[in-house]
Amino acid sequence: MNNFTYSIPTVIHFGKGQISHLAELKRSGDRVLLVYGGGSVKKSGLFDAAVKILTDAGISVTELPGVEPNPRIESVRRGAELCKENKIDMVLAVGGGSAIDCAKVVAAGACYDGDPWDLVLDGSKIKAALPVYSVLTLSATGSEMDEFAVISDLSKNEKWGTGSDLIKPVMSVLDPCYTFTVPAKQTAAGTADMMSHTFENYFTNVKGADLQGSLCEAVLKTCIKYGPIALREPENYDARANLMWAGSLAINGLLSYGSEVGWCVHPMEHELSAFYDITHGEGLAILTPVWMHFVLKKDPSKTAQLAAYGRNVWGLTGEDSEAAEQAVNKTAEFFFETMKMPANLRAVGITEKTHFEEMAAKAAAGCGGSFVPLTKEDIVSIFEMAF
C-alpha cells in the first residue's frame, strides 16, 4: 500500500429535503453566484426552491446560466468576471458535474488576475478560491465531493482536467429525488462514468492495496445492481440513492488513497469529447471494454487482476484466462445491452478516423504511466477497435 494523505472535508447532506441546508451558505457571506446549465433545473422547480431559501436567508443571488454539458472556458471567464464585478462571496452550482466543474474554476478564477484557462492547464496556479457549494442533479462525475474540474476550449479542441484542494466543495446537497427526471441516456452515461472512475483506481500496479480494491468492487457491484433499475424505474429512490452515493465515493479519494495509478481511459475519452463533443460517459463505455481487451493482449501478466474482477464483481468462476476474458465480455454486455448504450464510435457520430493520430498523441501523455502504459500507436489501435 502506498503512503497517502486523506482529506475529504466536504460535508454532504444526503437525502430527501436536504436542500434546506442551503441557508447555511450565509456563513460564507451575503452574495452568491448561482451557476447552472439548461432549463431543467428551472422546469423542475429546483431553481426557484434554491433561490427562495437563499433569499430568505438574506443572500443576494447573481446568475451564471447556460453552462454547457462539456463546460467551456468562455462560461468560466464570464463567471469569474461576474464574481469580480459583483463582489461575490461564494459560488453555488445547481446541476450535474458540468455546472459544478464550471463553478469550481469560476471560484478560483474570481481570485486570479490572469485568464482562468491558466488554472485549467495548471492546478498549482490556484492559490485561492471562493467557497464552492453544490446541489447535485446528476449522478456521474463525483465533482460534488472532489477536487477536480474538467473544462474545454473547443476553439482549440482541448479538454483538460485541473484540481486543487481549494476548490473542493465546502458542502453539497445530494437529494436522489432530483435525479428522478434524468433521462435514460444520461442515467446510463452517468453510471458508466462512475464505473470508469472506479476502474481507473481498481486496476493498479500498487501491491497490497486490498482494502481499496474491495471498496472498488463494492462500488462496481452497486452500479451494476442499480443502474438497470434506475433505467427501468426512474423514480426508484433506492436505485437513485445508491447511484448518487456511489458516484461521490468513486472519485472522492476513498478508492484511490493508497493505491492510485495514472488514469488511462479518461485521457483517451477526453480527446473524443474535445474533438467531437460527445457525451463523456458514452465515450468511456465505448472505450472501457476495448481497453480491457487491449490490456490483456499487450500484457498477459494482468490476466489475474482481470480475472479477480470477474470473480469478485461478476461472480465468475473458472481459470484466470477464461474468467478475465468473460469479465471483459460481461462489462461490454452491461454497457451495450443492459444499459443500452452506444457500442462504438460510429454510434455516437464519429464517422471518420481523421483525428485518430492527433488525439492519440495527446492522450498518450496521460496514459504513459498507467496500469499498462500505452503508446500513441496503442491508442490509435484502441480507437480503431472502438470504431
Supply the minimum distance, in Å, between the C-beta of residue 148 and its own copies.
19
- For its own copies, the closer of residues 171 and 360 by Cβ is 171
DSSP state of 370: B
Q: With contact defined as beta carbons under 8 Å apart, do 354 and 201 qualify?
A: no
Q: Which three cell numbers stand for residue 190?
A: 452517468
Supply the minimum distance, in Å, between the C-beta of residue 281 and its own copies.
19
Q: Which three cell numbers stand for residue 225?
A: 445492481
Supply the minimum distance, in Å, between the C-beta of residue 342 and its own copies.
27
Work out whether the CA dihedral 286, 381, 199, 117 comes out positive or negative.
negative
Q: With contact defined as beta carbons under 8 Å apart, do 34 and 62 qualify?
A: yes
- For its own copies, the closer of residues 65 and 234 by Cβ is 234
Residues ≥6 apart with Cβ < 8 Å to 307? 316, 319, 320, 321, 323, 324, 327
Residue 1 binds its own copies, judged by CB under 8 A: yes
Residues 202-213 as b/e (b if ≥16 CB within 10 A, e otherwise) read bbbeeeebeebb
Q: Within positions 73 to 132, which residues make up the interface with its own copies, using CB under 8 A?
A: none
- For its own copies, the closer of residues 64 and 171 by Cβ is 171
Rg (CA), the chain: 20
Q: Within positions 211 to 250, which residues make up the interface with its own copies, using CB under 8 A?
A: 211, 214-215, 217-219, 221-222, 225-226, 237-238, 241-242, 245-246, 249
Count of residues engaged in binding its own copies, rule: CB under 8 A? 42
**Residues 167-206 as x/- pattern, contact with its own copies by CB under 8 A:** ---------x------------------------------
Q: What's the angle, vertex CA 46, arms to CA 96 and CA 228, rounded to 5?
A: 50
Number of Cβ within 10 Å of residue 87's Cβ equals: 11
Task: Write the DSSP assignment of 106-147 as a string of letters.
Answer: HHHHTT-SS-THHHHH-GGG------EEEEE-SSSS-GGGSS
Supply the minimum distance, in Å, between the C-beta of residue 38 and its own copies.
28
What is the H or E stretch that residue 91 is in? strand 90-95
Q: Which stretch binds its own copies (CB under 8 A): 13-21, 105-113, 347-355, 374-382?
A: 13-21
One of 39, 66, 183, 208 touching its own copies (CB under 8 A): 208
Residues 249-288 as b/e (b if ≥16 CB within 10 A, e otherwise) read bbbbbbbbbbbbbbbbbbbbbbbbbbbbbbbbbbbbbbbb
**Residues 251-270 as x/- pattern, contact with its own copies by CB under 8 A:** ---x--xx------------
Supply the minimum distance, in Å, between the C-beta of residue 311 and its own copies.
10
- For its own copies, the closer of residues 50 and 223 by Cβ is 223
One of 48, 210, 235, 337 touching its own copies (CB under 8 A): 210
Residues ≥6 apart with Cβ < 8 Å to 208? 1
One of 14, 180, 276, 387 touching its own copies (CB under 8 A): 14
Name the residues that contact its own copies, by CB under 8 A.
1-18, 176, 207-208, 210-211, 214-215, 217-219, 221-222, 225-226, 237-238, 241-242, 245-246, 249, 254, 257-258
